[in-house]
Amino acid sequence: MGQREYEVIIGMEVHAQLLTRSKMFCGCSADYVDAPPNTHVCPVCMALPGALPVINRAAVEATIRVGLALNCEIAPFSVFARKNYFYPDLPKGYQISQYELPLTYNGWVEIEGNDGQPKRVRIRRAHLEEDTGKLVHVNGYSLVDLNRAGVPLLEIVSEADMRSAEEAHRYLLKLRTILRYLGVSTADMEKGAMRCEANLSVRPRGQQTLGTKVEIKNLNSFKAVRDAITYEVKRQIAILEQGGTVEQVTLGWDEHAGRTFVQRTKEEAHDYRYFPEPDLLPLEISREWVESLRATLPELPDAKIQRFMQTYGLSRKEADIIAVEREVAEWYETAVAAYPHPREVYHWLTGEIFRYLNEANIPITAMKVTPDALAELLRLVEDGTINRNTAKSVLQEMLATGQRPRTIVDAKGLAQVSDEAALRAVVDEIIAAHPDEVRRYREGKKGLFGWFMGQVMRATRGKANPATVKKLLSERLEGDG
Ligand SMILES: [Zn+2]
């Protein structure tokens, strides 16, 4: 009996730190990453008795802007709640979060589905809470650092609308792109500014009831998300194939071993005993406030992709590649404005330049080549000053030194030779020196044409205008002489 077909059902919970100056409920700086332990703390975020929280307006505004970008409704009335549990990095014994009345809810984002078509993933809610402190384990001791305690944290909960590890990966990438476009979070998973959990179940295709759901926690990279989901789907299918049942558990992901492991079982599940935070008033959000924040939204990725397709004639995939990072999109548009051949600019940006950025592991903002300099380089190709191969090496030089293309071409004498008389002399020399190849060519071995091209290019150190060489070679080889 062959294996049945299975359907995977995935929902995601994403936490993103917000880029506010101060923490969620106190005036401490939220820029804690490089600070010595416990230097960004005060009675509020250390939970000293009697200290009272105050809501950070900038964090509320960032959350509303995210809600709008995720097509959510914005609650006119929203409440903070205490989520009670004990852990040494949580000095209050509870986390201030939102439960019954989140700030934003009922939205969606569009991703590319498994079938290659656009697909909506529904957003159940995006609410505001505070981050916890951090434990540092040294020599058998556990030390607590409360610098991170109280940093504003946005929690975005999706519906279980994803059907593969790839869809989950694309969803996460889309969220990161949106958060970065809005400038509300670095959304840097590797640095812990964005963290992710997946809930997942598997069922035989066609079955109506859902399979048993497991949660996978602490997915700290895009790779971890894809690998953990792929692993877990295989594991669950293997259990079901053997007639077993999947246990409802919370799992961790062991990146080194490449497998999930049980963190806790259903019996150990927390009861958080949520109740409204008595130290904070409910948030009342006026429609005017929401509309004034809507006016601050930048052009969002989906709109930009549409515009790039229409304005520049790019395919959806190409537009998507450019629009993933706002800075890349801006660079591209500036370059196209300076050299209005969108496809040519796309080709050079996503080819040579992306390869360089990947190898150097730097963002486009740290690159030495300006859009204007690339435009100048492409004009040198267009007017025949240099050929495309020379342009590639000039671009490498530009990337390394930041010099203008014209400067490099002049300094190195790279301008190509288009002068027919000069090139004819070279062609004649090559033909005179290789009578055997000429004879074989004329007897029908037409593949030798490329070899002759190579000889001329080598003799001119790559500077010959290929079109001129091609024309001259054809004349001489096809002719009688
Ligand atoms: Zn504080």
136 Cα: distance to centroid of ligand 1 (angstroms): 20
50 Cα: distance to centroid of ligand 1 (angstroms): 14
Report all structural domains of the chain as residue ranges with CATH numbers, in order of start: 6-292 (no CATH), 301-412 (no CATH), 420-478 (1.10.10.410)
179 Cα: distance to centroid of ligand 1 (angstroms): 25
47 Cα: distance to centroid of ligand 1 (angstroms): 9
395 Cα: distance to centroid of ligand 1 (angstroms): 49
81 Cα: distance to centroid of ligand 1 (angstroms): 19
pLDDT at 284: 96
82 Cα: distance to centroid of ligand 1 (angstroms): 18
pLDDT at 480: 56
pLDDT at 3: 62
105 Cα: distance to centroid of ligand 1 (angstroms): 29
Q: How confident is the model over 113-140, as pLDDT tens digits?
A: 999 999 999 999 999 999 999 999 999 9
* Residues in the chain with pLDDT values less than 70: 1-3, 480-481
30 Cα: distance to centroid of ligand 1 (angstroms): 9
* Cβ 97 vs Cβ 80: under 8 Å: yes
> What is the rounded CA–CA span in Å between residue 474 and residue 240?
68
pLDDT at 1: 43
pTM of the model: 0.86
Q: Nearest 5°: phi and psi at 355?
A: -60, -45
296 Cα: distance to centroid of ligand 1 (angstroms): 29
pLDDT at 412: 83
178 Cα: distance to centroid of ligand 1 (angstroms): 29
78 Cα: distance to centroid of ligand 1 (angstroms): 23
